[in-house]
Structure 1
Amino acid sequence: MTVPESDGTQIEVVRVFTDAAGRYGNPLGIARATDVIDVDHQALAARAGYAETVVVEDPIDDRARMRIYTPAVELPFAGHPSVGAAWWLNAQLTPVTVIEVPAGPVAVEAADGLIWVRARAEWTPKFEFHQFDDAEELAALGPADFTAGAHYAWMYTNEPRGAVRARMFAPARGIAEDEATGGAAIALTALLRRSINITQGQGSQMFTAWDSEGWVRLGGRTVADHPVVI
């Protein structure tokens, strides 16, 4: 993939799904829609190189519209950008109760020190799930093992408590390995029909709650990183 040259756009960066100490987390690029009116959003995401970069409109009546891009494609919904953008809007003193994405309205709530979003599993990108029983086998996986598609490898570390260890590889979306994948967490929760606590990548943490009506709540911590010019 050829990455376009910089046009000097500044984006904010946050890390989503950190642990309790603010470590790890999946970087998210955030651009204000008013700053990128004449910018190719997909090219912007390719230059940024994060798993996702979002373009967020200014909130109106506690609602904000958002577009989501991987380095290669636009997504109708993704969990990590929804949680991260909701946290960022709150930090900008413009909190919202709903983020409008192409898939539908994503409800937002702050509770227990986490930002929670509510979405349907069918909104998430498609993943191929691979369940493991051996932690060493899961740890030995690498991007070279997957040449196409999007793959979520996971195992229970404590099934009664719903504790899960996971990794995600998505070459089809321009992502060699993702540090924390909210959409996959939502999809896995719906597949298992239970709430789970996921540790992914180096140590990022995600929390989910299953709703019997088919909705899933996804929660996590976010911290500010630093702005970049791309």
Structure 2
Amino acid sequence: MSNYDVLRVFCGPGGGYGNELAVVREGSVMPEREERQAFAAKLGFSETVFVDDPERGVIDIYTPTLRLPFAGHPCVGVGWLLDVPELVTPAGVIGVRLDGEFSWIEARAEWAPPRTLRQYGSAAEIDALPVQAPGVGAPPTPFGQWGRVYAWAWEDEAAGRVRARAFPGRDDGIDEDEATGAAALLLTQQLGRALNIVQGVGSQMLTAPQPGGWVEVGGRVRLER
């Protein structure tokens, strides 16, 4: 098995929670897409990143079942790990900056996979949502027919504080995403304002719309191993 790092991205203030990410720093050891896909499936993380050029920030992102042109928490994590000014993905070039305890990326919401952004009336309603087993043809759920759903509610609308949970709708053993940067991009674009999002059990994401249709997403990153 190839050597890889494990990061935790979008950690809470105490360094806990966040979404795990595998990073293969020497992507050249596994150059073929089929190899990479099989390796990502074997590891079982929500995403695995292969670094093809660490100086230029060229990366390749996989879930256990498919290749992604862009994903939020992998880019935030790899940007922190490589400490480069930008990342090059199939979707486009992503700006990266480090600011104190936060790692930030600047990306476009249209790069994110489509999903349903479903608003609820309170944070308590978000907390009470059941985890639904994914799969095509699944019976109706509280969200309607199954698919990528980002359930959110205001905790404090004036302060931009949001409570959210993400249900990816993938039949690969990942029923709920603890922290989803791509969904945060979409929500920020829809609302047109900076957000402080607590997702999952206790992960934290900060966002801010930028000129020209760009959105910044930031969070804490920790090296697990």
Structure-1-length-normalised TM-score = 0.87
Number of residue pairs matched? 212
Alpha-carbon distance in structure 1 between the residues aligned to 2:216 and 2:186: 11
TM-aligned CA distance change 1:28 to 1:180, over 3 Å: same
Q: In structure 2, the residue corresponding to 1:71 is in which secondary structure?
A: coil
Q: CA RMSD in A?
A: 1.6
CA contact (8 A) 2:47 2:62 kept: yes
Aligned partner of residue 160 in structure 1, secondary structure: coil
| Aligned counterparts of 1:75 and 1:197: Cα–Cα separation in 2 | 25
Matched to 1:56, the amino acid is: V
Deviates more, 1:152-161 or 1:47-56: 47-56
2:205 corresponding residue in structure 1: 206
In structure 2, distance between residues paired with 1:109 and 1:138: 31
Q: Which one is further off, 155-164 or 165-174?
A: 165-174
Instruction: Tell which deviates more after alignment, 107-116 or 142-151.
Output: 142-151
Deviating 4+ runs (over 6 angstroms): none
Report percent identity of matched pairs: 44
The question of whether the paired residues in 2 share the 8 Å contact of 1:143 and 1:177 is answered with yes
> 1:128-207, aligned counterparts within 5 Å?
128-144=116-132, 147=135, 148-172=146-170, 174=172, 175-207=174-206
The CA deviation at 1:145 is 6.5
What does the per-residue CA deviation read over 1:47-95, in whole Å, with 9 as the maximum and x for residues that have no partner? 11111111112323xx211111111111111110000001111xxxxx2
Corresponding residue for 1:27? 20
Question: Which shifted more, 113-122 or 146-155?
Answer: 146-155
Residue 55 of structure 1 is matched in structure 2 by 50
SS at match of 1:216: strand
Classify the secondary structure of the residue corresponding to 1:40. Answer: helix
CA distance in 1, matches of 2:84, 2:81: 10
Q: Structure 2: how far apart are the matches of 1:154 and 1:82?
A: 23
Counterpart residue number, 1:40: 35
Q: Contact conserved, 2:70 with 2:112, CA < 8 A, in 1?
A: yes
> What is the DSSP-based 3-state SS (H/G/I as helix, E as strand, rest coil) of the residue aligned with 1:47?
helix
Q: Tell me the amino acid that sits aligned with residue 114 of structure 1.
A: F
Secondary structure class of the residue paired with 1:81: helix
TM-score, normalization by structure 2: 0.89
On the 8 A contact 1:73/1:173 being kept in 2, the answer is no
Deviations 1:141-186 (A, max 9, x none): 2332654421100001000010001000112363310000000001
* Structure 2 letter corresponding to 1:206: M
Q: Select the residue among 5, 11, 27 that pairs with 2:4.
A: 11
**Which residue is 2:103 aligned to?**
115
**Counterparts of 1:114 and 1:101 in 2: how far apart (Å)?**
21
Residue type at the aligned position of 2:152:
W
- Equivalent residue number for residue 99 of structure 1: 87
Equivalent AA in structure 2 for residue 205 of structure 1: Q
Could you tell me which residue of structure 1 aligns to residue 141 of structure 2?
none
Q: Which residue in 1 is equivalent to 2:138?
A: none
More strand by percentage: 1
Cα deviations by residue, 1:19-47 (Å, 9 ceiling, x for unpaired): 12211110001012033236711111111
Helix, strand or coil at the partner of 1:143: coil
